[in-house]
Every structure is written in C-alpha cells, then in structure tokens.
Amino acid sequence: MNYCSNCSHPVVFKEVEGDSHKRFVCDECDTIHYQNPRIVVGCLPIWEDQVLLASRAIEPREGFWNVPGGFMENGETMKEGAAREVMEETFAEVEVIRLHTTFAIPRINQVHMHFLAHLKNLDFKPGIESIDVRLFKESEIPWKDIAFHSSTFSLKQYFNNIGNGKEEVYSSFI
C-alpha cells in the first residue's frame, strides 16, 4: 500500500499505539489502514449419496475439481455468499444447511468456510468459472485432481462423518 484511500496522501508502515501489529497509517488524515484475511465461502452441495463438484475454468488450478466457492462480497452473510458462489459456478440452487468446515491459510491471508447444502433440484450446468460440474459418489471422487486443500478437507470430513448424526464444525489449516 502506497497511498491513503481516504485522502490520497502517502502512507507509512509503522507501529500504532495500543496495537500489536505495524499498520499502514496516513500521517495526513490519521487513517489506520487495517489489512485482514479474506473470507472464502462455499457449499458442499449434496444430493442423496453424492456431492456436486465443479471443475475450474480459471487459475489457480484450472481444470481441477473443487467445492464451489469464492470470495465473500461486502453486504452479504456467509450463507448468502456461499449460495451465490454455488449459483455462479454451477447454476445450482441450494438450501444451505449449516457450517461444515473452516480452513485457515495464513500464508495467503485467507480463511475458507464451507457449508453443507442440499441441492434443490438436478438443474445445474457449468458457470463462467467452471469447465464442468458433476455429482460424485465417494468412490468416484478424483482425489488426485482436487484443486485445493480446503476442498479435500471438506470432502473427507463429510464422507468420514456421514450418518454419525453429529453437527460438528471441523477446522484445519496449512
């Protein structure tokens, strides 16, 4: 960051009184520019004993499969963002059930949050960010072609805990 988004003056990276981190600060208007992790939201859409995955049409990891998801937008809840991302990537309508997994990736300042969701129908097709979308049974999942650790974690937690009746939220990081 070079300039203040509030007044356009140069910013300085310095310690702020009462804060534990250095921050970009504008000495002109005293605005402190906090930089925090970005939230990635998505859903693991379920239909009977299958899950809906999308093959990515964009980088990173173009051509690999993932749990439909993306960056949260301002003004939306996590559930709204997760359902929107599923719609954008698969045109599928979902009913969001509950939070399923959280996955922190500190080296790139992201937190991934995947929800479980029921597919409302089987009317889905690739969106602009997807090459293909498909329902998979556990035995059919292309594990070596899963795009992201967060998707692998979400899928494994789902299949390892299916039918146990628990509504736990599973967390991990890399």
Report how far residue 116's alpha carbon sits from residue 143's, in angstroms, rounded to the nearest whole number: 19
Q: Give yes or no for residue 163 having a pLDDT over 80.
A: no
Residue 112 sits at the vertex; the CA angle it makes with 107 and 113, to the nearest 5 degrees, is: 155
Q: Give yes or no for residue 169 having a pLDDT over 80.
A: yes
Handedness of CA 122, 123, 126, 128 (dihedral sign): negative
Report how far residue 150's alpha carbon sits from residue 108's, in angstroms, rounded to the nearest whole number: 13
User: What are phi and psi for residue 88, nearest 5 degrees?
Assistant: -65, -40
Q: Give yes or no for residue 15 having a pLDDT over 80.
A: yes
Report how far residue 47's alpha carbon sits from residue 95's, in angstroms, rounded to the nearest whole number: 11
Report how far residue 111's alpha carbon sits from residue 171's, in angstroms, rounded to the nearest whole number: 10
What kind of architecture, by CATH, is found in domain 1-35? Single Sheet (2.20)
- Residues β-bridged to residue 12: 25
Q: Give the tens place of pLDDT for each residue, 25-75.
A: 999 999 999 999 999 999 999 999 999 999 999 999 999 999 999 999 999
Predicted confidence band of residue 164 (pLDDT cuts 50, 70, 90): confident
Amino acid present at 129: E
Q: Give yes or no for residue 166 having a pLDDT over 90.
A: no
How do the domains of the chain map onto residue ranges? 1-35, 38-162
Q: Give the model's pLDDT for residue 88.
A: 98
Q: Does domain 38-162 have CATH number 3.90.79.10?
A: yes
